[in-house]
Every structure is written in structure tokens, then in C-alpha cells.
Structure 1
Amino acid sequence: MKLRGNCQAKVDEKGRLKIPAVFLEELKEYGNQFYITSTTGETAKIYPMKVWSEIEDKLAKMPSTNRAKRKFLMRTSYYGQTVELDGQGRLLLPTVLRESAQTKGDVDILGNLDYLEVMNHTRVLDQLKNEPYTDEDDKALEDLGI
């Protein structure tokens, strides 16, 4: 699965996000269940359940005393919820996450290869401005062969 690009969308008053057609076809290959979560509360990450299950499998192999694992699970559980795609191609964003990430009205949906990231449109523009792409970023990717 290769989710890429950006689509603008809207979250309705009930918290439902209509998945744009460009992403919907790719996502449907993985079924109708998704895990929507965040580690920061600033964005909503939408994982096909198969992808999220692979993450959980990796976490299960780590010791329960691992601090990073505990922090990750606490946050992804607090913000997270299993949701099902409805017949109109919509997903209900969890209330806690929707409020925390300010994902009401206009949002951007960014493709991140195997998951989607939903962000408040203003927050996307602020992040692009305040966190510029640098030569160091280029170097780090070059070191990885990209």
C-alpha cells in the first residue's frame, strides 16, 4: 500500500471524516476496520487494522518494563479507537482526539505510505513554515539511501 499526497477534506459536526477517493481505494484493500490514534494529540493517524496489528505484534515482543513502550501504549490507547468505515466512506474520529487535534471543519489528509495523518489545516501551514526542510534532513535521508 502506498498512501501518498495531500487532500483537503472536512470533518462534519458529528466528527465524521469523509475519506477522499484517492485514498479510499487503497484503504479498501485492507478492509473496513481502522485504528485512529495519536502519540501527541496534535494529529490523528489512521491505520488500517492490519498495519496497526503489525505494530502491536512488535510491541508485544518488547518487555513490559520498556519505558518507551509504556509511554507509546498509554498515549495511543488514550487517543485511540477502533472504527469502521461506513457505507459512505466516512470514519468517526474519536472525540478526545478530535478536540485535542482541533480537527473540526477544514483538515488536510496526508498520505504517509501505510497510514493517513489528519491535521488541522492551519496547523499544517504553521508546521511547514516553522519547521523548514533543511540540508541536515537531506543528509539524514541520503545516509539511508534516499
Structure 2
Amino acid sequence: MFRGSHIARVDEKGRLKVPAEFKRLLDEKYGATFFITSFDGERAEIFPMQEWEKIEAEMATRTSSPQKAKFLEVTNYYGQVVEMDGQGRLLLPQNLRDKAGLAGDLAVMGLQTRLSAVNDEQQVARLKAAPLTGDDFAALAIPGV
């Protein structure tokens, strides 16, 4: 399971250096093939291929609907299959880099079965603008929190 956040840099060729803490888990459990996409054009969602294939299998069981069509259109527009290189770098899709401002320092966050990479300055602003509230915690009803 991916958890936590690390700052990572995107180089001039658009390659994201996967933080060592996440790379260890990727190497142990998943291998080098990924589907990188976005749900909103503001961040890169980095799925190990095995995790993305679970989503594809679930989508295949669903009947056609406007929501399914929209999901497939968005994720395929931004998405590409990517192989991690020998230095632990992933090439972020060009159209996603351009639209989401994925250059320089990114916050790479563990979201259980995937990683999410977002412009660090934009993420800090987003967190300040919409902090967790008591209502959020109540809705989640997490024991011990």
C-alpha cells in the first residue's frame, strides 16, 4: 500500500524520478509497467499496470452509460502506458504535463494502490483552501481519528 508524500523532480525531458520509498514497493510488488492518466487534468495518477487492469476489468462489467463513456474518454485522453527506466524514472504524458503544470518539483503522494503527482505549489494552495474539517472526519467515521 502506498502512503505518505515525497517531493520529486521532473527533468527537462518530462521524466519523473520516483521517490525511493515508493520505488522499493513498486519493484517488490508490481514491476516496471504503468498506466499514467488523470481524472481532472490537474494531476497525474500513476497506476501500476496490475491495479489499472483491475479498473479496466470492473469497467468491462458495466453497461454502457454516459458516465462510463466520460470516464473512458478522460482517462484515455490523458493516459499512456509507460515503462520505468533503469534510473527509476517515468515519462509523464506530454499533454498531461502541459495542462497540469507538471514541471519542476511535484508532490508525489501515496493513495493506497496508486501514486498521484501534482505541482507542489498548487497542492499546498489546494490544501490551504479546503482543509479537512470536523464534518469530513464525521462523514468518514474512521475509528481512532
Q: Runs ≥4 in structure 1, deviation > 6 angstroms?
A: none
Distance (Å, rounded) in 2 between the aligned partners of 1:6 and 1:27: 15
CA RMSD of aligned residues (A): 1.1
TM-score by length of 1: 0.95
Whether 1:57 aligns to 2:57 is yes
Equivalent AA in structure 2 for residue 10 of structure 1: R
Distance (Å, rounded) in 2 between the aligned partners of 1:95 and 1:76: 14
In structure 1, stretches of 5+ residues that fail to align are: none
In structure 2, stretches of 5+ residues that fail to align are: none
1:14-93 equivalence runs, <5 A? 14-28=13-27, 29-64=29-64, 66-93=65-92
Equivalent AA in structure 2 for residue 59 of structure 1: M
TM-score by length of 2: 0.95
Distance (Å, rounded) in 1 between the aligned partners of 2:38 and 2:19: 21
> How far apart are residue 140 of structure 1 and its match?
1.2
> How far apart are residue 98 of structure 1 and its match?
0.7
> How far apart are residue 39 of structure 1 and its match?
1.2
Tell me the number of residue pairs that the alignment of Structure 1 and Structure 2 aligns.
143
Distance (Å, rounded) in 1 between the aligned partners of 2:35 and 2:47: 5
> How far apart are residue 136 of structure 1 and its match?
1.3
> Deviation string for 1:6-27 (max 9, x for gaps)?
1001100100001011000111
Distance (Å, rounded) in 2 between the aligned partners of 1:111 and 1:123: 17
> Deviation string for 1:67-111 (max 9, x for gaps)?
111111100000000000100100000000011110101111001
Which is worse superposed, 49-58 or 21-30? 21-30
> How far apart are residue 31 of structure 1 and its match?
1.2
